[in-house]
Amino acid sequence: MIFCDPIKNIVLTGFRATGKTSVGKALAAQLGWAFLDADSLLCTRLGADVAEVVARRGWPFFRQAERQLLQELSSMTNTVLATGGGAIEHQDEWLRLRACCFVVWLDADIDTISGRIAADPVSATQRPSLIGGVSARDEIETLLKQRRPLYAAGSDLRLDAVGASPPDLAARIVETMGRRATSC
């Protein structure tokens, strides 16, 4: 997709532990824009962390709140949003976002994602299983198979999030946006 109109917002998508929050903060700082982490904002709004919300109300309730937040973003400007890994599954809202946002997919391999999640001391308590009854690695593999086609189709730019620092990835996003804007 080539943007000839000014980009209102930037959306970062990708699986858990691909660096959306870290890159998003670096990108917002480089651009002088606001930064929002969808999961953090949802936890604040819902008064509990994701695991607590899901335990009390279930995944469908959490996903509905996530869908509503995506709808709100289309009216914002100069905002970098780090979405939850499953936000891409809200296809109707995602299409609306694509009309006003530059969408960047931060991608990583299964080993990297598994390692980052295992190294994060709070990850297991923050995110309950979506599938249940399988190992964490099997869940990652299953969900990546489902979501990678959505990430690919729903993004303007794919970046390998392995081995690059958040400021470097943010700089690559800004550079890509600049090249696209000058090609109009």
Per-residue model confidence as pLDDT tens digits over 81-115: 999 888 999 999 998 888 889 999 999 999 999 89
Residue 161 near residue 110 (C-beta atoms within 8 A): no
Query: Does the pLDDT of residue 2 top 50, yes or no?
Result: no
DSSP string covering the chain: ----SPP-EEEEE-STTSSHHHHHHHHHHHHT-EEEEHHHHHHHHHTS-HHHHHHHH-HHHHHHHHHHHHHHHTT--SEEEE--TTGGG-HHHHHHHHHHEEEEEEE--HHHHHHHHHH-TTHHHHS--SS-SS-HHHHHHHHHHHHHHHHHHT-SEEEE-SS--HHHHHHHHHHHHHHHHHT-
Query: Does the pLDDT of residue 4 top 60, yes or no?
Result: no
Whether 128 is in a domain gets the answer yes
Query: Does the pLDDT of residue 132 top 90, yes or no?
Result: no
Whether 42 is in a domain gets the answer yes
Amino acid 177: pLDDT: 87
Amino acid 1: pLDDT: 38
Amino acid 164: pLDDT: 94
CATH no. for residue 135? 3.40.50.300
Site of tokens 């609306």: 96
Whether 52 is in a domain gets the answer yes
Q: Which of 147, 161, 124 is nearest to 50 (CA)?
A: 124
Whether 1 is in a domain gets the answer no
Q: How many domains does the chain have?
A: 1
Task: Print the domain residue range for 84.
Answer: 9-182
Separation of alpha carbons 150 and 15, rounded Å: 11
Residue 122 near residue 30 (C-beta atoms within 8 A): no
Length of the chain in terms of residues written: 184
Whether 174 is in a domain gets the answer yes
The mean pLDDT of the chain is: 88
Amino acid 75: pLDDT: 82
